[in-house]
Amino acid sequence: MKDAIYKYAIYAVLGCTIGFSAFLISSDNLSPFTTQATVHKNVANIAPQVSGVITHVNVQNGQVVKAGDVLFSIDKHSYTLAVRQAKAELDQAQEAHSAKWQELQSAEQILSQRNIEWHNTNNNLIRYQRLLYKGLITQQDFDDANASANVAKSAIAVAQADVLRIKAELFGNKIFEDQTDEMTTIANNTIKYQAKSAAITIAESKLASAKLDLAHTNVVAQTAGTVSNLQLQTGSYVNAGNVSLFLVNEATSWLSADFNEKGIAHLQTGNPVWVSFDAFPGQVFAGTIINQDRAIFDASNSTNQLSTVVNDSRWIREQQKIRTRIHVNGANAALIAGSRASVIVKNGHNRVVDTIGYSWIQLVSWFRYIY
């Protein structure tokens, strides 16, 4: 009786072993299976936008933070001085700009005066010309009047050139087509409009940049998450752009699984899967294929380089893996990014295959109690 029991037990074990072996051999064509699956979560790389010595670390490793929370602070002294210097340069530029407008106002008044003087000398020239025709004055008197008119006209050109020079310093190479709208007009000795000079614009931009750098001395979380890999401490020097800590978004996670390309027909979006996490022995979770990566990095043929041909002495080469992204229904929030899992794709058309597949993934989950 005992011999018969042992015999049937051995047959049962051998039958299961042979059945599962046959299933695993053909699984890529029926129900793809892989043990190469990893949990991924969105991770924000936190890097300061300015360099300096850390004065405060406001978080701890594993702490949950909200968007807007200050993570750590950088010494503000040099950036505060930069703001003061930029503010002083802006004040200086505004003062110089105001002085230049006063100079322009004075130059335009001189130009107006030169125009009046020229009109006066020109009227005198016309009168002298009439008197010369009547013989009431000498040629010398007429020549003196003509010279005075020419000098007055030249003075207008000099005054105009001075006005244009000052305007060029104020506005650069800008050409004003409508003087009423585009340039300073003088009415009742009051400046109605003043355009902003390039020097002021540059100084304002420099001040805004300095203020922005000062604000960036407080490194703020742009998204909610859990602080991970925190190795900062007060007194450490950090460079702008260098990653200082990580924020893990616990709200989003997915499973990245690598299947043999032979099973690509079953790795389509929406296909159901069963998942066994190493972290939860004995439990099987349901999931769905989200998508798959449509390109694989080819290390032997980098961009803009000649192809590298590798001779393989094996008769049957190893299959290419296909990276597949999977959503797991009800995945435990305790899973960390990097947790490992095994995945089998549900066939959906053959109950026998699906039964064997589920039995296999359940068996794998039980193995995790001891391995």
Residues 101 and 185 in one domain: yes
Does some domain include residue 141?
yes
Does some domain include residue 118?
yes
List the CATH number of the domain containing 266.
Answer: 2.40.30.170
Domain that holds residue 361: 27-41+251-296+318-370
Does some domain include residue 105?
yes
Nearest partner of 58 among 213, 233, 216, judged by Cα: 233
How does pLDDT run across 328-361, given as a tens digit for each residue? 987 777 888 889 999 999 988 888 888 888 988 9
Q: Any residues with CB less than 8 A from the CB of 195 and at least 6 apart, and which?
A: 170, 171, 182, 183, 184
Does some domain include residue 121?
yes
Query: CA of 49: how far to CAs of 46, 74, 239, 248, 314, in Å?
Result: 10, 10, 8, 20, 52
Does some domain include residue 14?
no
215 burial (CB, 10 Å; 0-12 / 13-18 / 19+) is middle
Does some domain include residue 268?
yes
How does pLDDT run across 195-220, given as a tens digit for each residue? 567 788 889 999 999 999 999 999 99
- Give the pLDDT band (50/70/90) at residue 78: very high
The last residue of a domain, from among 154, 176, 208: 208
312 burial (CB, 10 Å; 0-12 / 13-18 / 19+) is exposed
CA-CA distance, 68 to 223, in Å (whole number)? 7
Residues 345 and 255 in one domain: yes
Residues 364 and 261 in one domain: yes
- Give the pLDDT band (50/70/90) at residue 82: very high
CA-CA distance, 45 to 144, in Å (whole number)? 84
Residues 33 and 137 in one domain: no
Nearest partner of 61 among 222, 227, 198, 214, judged by Cα: 227
Does some domain include residue 354?
yes
Number of domains in the chain: 2
- Give the pLDDT band (50/70/90) at residue 71: very high
| pLDDT for residue 309 | 63
Percent of the chain, pLDDT > 70? 84
8 Å CB contact between 55 and 74: yes
